Structure 1
Amino acid sequence: MTTENLTPSSMSGEPIEIRGGVELPARREDIELHTADGLTLVGELASPVDRDPVATLVTLHPLPTGGGFMDSHILRKAAGRLPALADIAVLRFNTRGTASPRGRSQGAFDHGIGERFDVEAAMAFVAERGLPHPWLLGWSFGTELALMYGREFPVDGVILLSPPLHRAKPEHLAAWAGDHRPIVALIPELDDYLRPAEASERFRPLPQIELVDVEGGKHLWVGENQTRRVLNEIVERINPAALPLPTEWPPPAT
């Protein structure tokens, strides 16, 4: 099913501040992904309303056993804002065994092992649809999947939010060493698992890593200031022509 979402501001003509759960106009399509080991995963593709996307964000959510899913707030806000603000398509999906209001993906959580097939299915969908310039966006557990498996796929680059480096080992990082695609890691100053000083040391096997230390940042990126920081960092890498992202909708006339 494809729908087009319109905020109250887009219907009334009165600008509103973009914050919280504001969902800007986009084409939103419920999708299914099919894995090589026979599972069906549920998800959503959000695209610009009246033009082709300039790039695609393939999102990998936080740990499902810790409450992570395709609606984890940064991913939901990326899908709610970036198609309209930056012409970026956003693909979100529940990894195996994960549930959200969209539904439950088949299978069971596999500690990052079987999830290899989930990443593969998402990238196959991107290829089938001809979605342009895909980037992987992993958050927490999702960064582990991006680091362990993303190198196998034709992505333009990788963005990591709050990487814990629990499952991704030095050998996974070293495997990227000869790869020239950009990898950007946003490291919260007050992260629960990996803070800037330790990140600098542990990412040493990955010479092309761009570490972005976020002052005052926390693992969950709670608050509108943190959300805006993350979304601006994403757009700076994927479609910098769209910066600075407006903070109200409709944007002021230029």
Structure 2
Amino acid sequence: MTFDPASYEFTQAQGPTPIRASTVLPARRENIELQTEDGHTLVGELALPESGPVKATLITLHPLPTHGGFMDSHVYRKASYRLPALAGIAVLRFNTRGTASPRGTSSGAFEEGLGERHDVEAAVRFAVERGLPNRWLVGWSFGTELALMYGAVEPVAGQIEGAVLLSPPLHRATDKHLQLWAESGKPLTVLVPEHDDFLQPAEAAGRFSLVPQARVVGVAGAKHLWVGEKYAARVLNDIVAQVSPDRAGVELPREWDGPTATAGA
């Protein structure tokens, strides 16, 4: 069965409650489908603030699906649980071609990052058509390759503000793609775990020196998968600071005084 985000059951606690890994805060959530130009249907979810303006839009690109990556990879799941309520940010998550999750399975098959160009374009096009403002790509691991390969070229480049990269391996993305980002002038924030399996902070600083506007941030103690609430919270704070400058230097609350739900495992 396809997971329905309307099935969350919200209850009101007596006073503020800590925000934990499984805490779901109120938002307007809907299952969505994206149509690619090469004929695939991609499944996803859009989470919007319950009220007030959308301050920014995250178009998330998940880790490698052949190694367990999907739209529910934990940092993106927590972004969808928290950021609409805490920061007025819309979070668009989807499964790239051939990828499955509780939401469902996108049609097609994994294409090593090549056919996935159409997936990125479809997600950005959807955000534009829905009138979602201040659009940013957020890539994690394999998702950073997609952001780097396709974010600085049309039709995506003219429809996004920039990108945030989590744990970039720089396997598929080459210096050519970095040079295209440099020429675009678009902001690029790169969060690199100290103990990353593929690219660590010092090497990342050297590789991304080709992009003068790139901000490379090494995160002490972190690993490629950002496991642990400490590191997930750090990532979300850095993303919000980049896409919503009025919140720079202001950490996201760790408690919520309002209705909450609890997500399943």
Q: Which TM-score tier does this pair reach, normalised by the shorter chain?
A: over 0.9
Q: Structure 1 residue runs of 4+, over 6 Å off?
A: none
Residue in 2 aligned with 1:85?
Answer: 86
Give 1:13 deviation, angstroms: 3.8
Give 1:27 deviation, angstroms: 0.6
User: How many pairs does the alignment contain?
Assistant: 249
Residue in 2 aligned with 1:98?
Answer: 99
Change (3 A) 1:240 1:17: farther
Kindly report which structure 2 residues correspond to 1:22-171, keeping only aligned pairs within 5 A, or say none. Answer: 22-151=23-152, 152=154, 153=156, 154-171=159-176
Q: Which amino acid aligns with 1:34?
A: Q
Q: 1:246 aligns with which of 253, 256, 263?
A: 253
8 Å contact 1:18–1:249 — kept in the other structure?
yes
8 Å contact 1:5–1:28 — kept in the other structure?
no
- Secondary structure in structure 1 of the residue aligned to 2:170: coil
Q: Which amino acid aligns with 1:237?
A: Q
Give 1:14 deviation, angstroms: 2.9
Question: Unaligned 5+ residue runs, structure 1?
Answer: none
- Secondary structure in structure 1 of the residue aligned to 2:6: strand
**How far does the alpha carbon of each residue in 1:168-224 deviate from its partner, in whole angstroms, 9 at most, with x for none?**
011111112222211000010000000011111111222211001101111000001
Scaled by the length of structure 2, what TM-score is found? 0.91
1:3 aligns with 2:10: no
Q: Which amino acid aligns with 1:3?
A: A
Q: Which amino acid aligns with 2:255?
A: E
Residue in 1 aligned with 2:196?
Answer: 191
Identity of paired residues, percent? 60
Give, in whole Å, the separation in 2 of the partners of 1:189 and 1:41: 34
Change (3 A) 1:15 1:7: farther
8 Å contact 1:4–1:25 — kept in the other structure?
no
Give 1:244 deviation, angstroms: 2.1
8 Å contact 1:95–1:118 — kept in the other structure?
yes
- Secondary structure in structure 2 of the residue aligned to 1:112: coil
1:172 aligns with 2:181: no
Residue in 2 aligned with 1:204?
Answer: 209
Scaled by the length of structure 1, what TM-score is found? 0.94
Give, in whole Å, the separation in 1 of the partners of 2:9 and 2:88: 16
Alpha-carbon RMSD across the aligned residues, in angstroms, is: 1.5
8 Å contact 1:232–1:244 — kept in the other structure?
yes
- Secondary structure in structure 2 of the residue aligned to 1:229: helix
**How far does the alpha carbon of each residue in 1:43-73 deviate from its partner, in whole angstroms, 9 at most, with x for none?**
0000001223111000000000000000000
Q: Which has the higher contact order (CA 8 A, sep 6+)?
A: 2
8 Å contact 1:28–1:44 — kept in the other structure?
yes
**How far does the alpha carbon of each residue in 1:99-136 deviate from its partner, in whole angstroms, 9 at most, with x for none?**
00000000000000000000000011011100000000
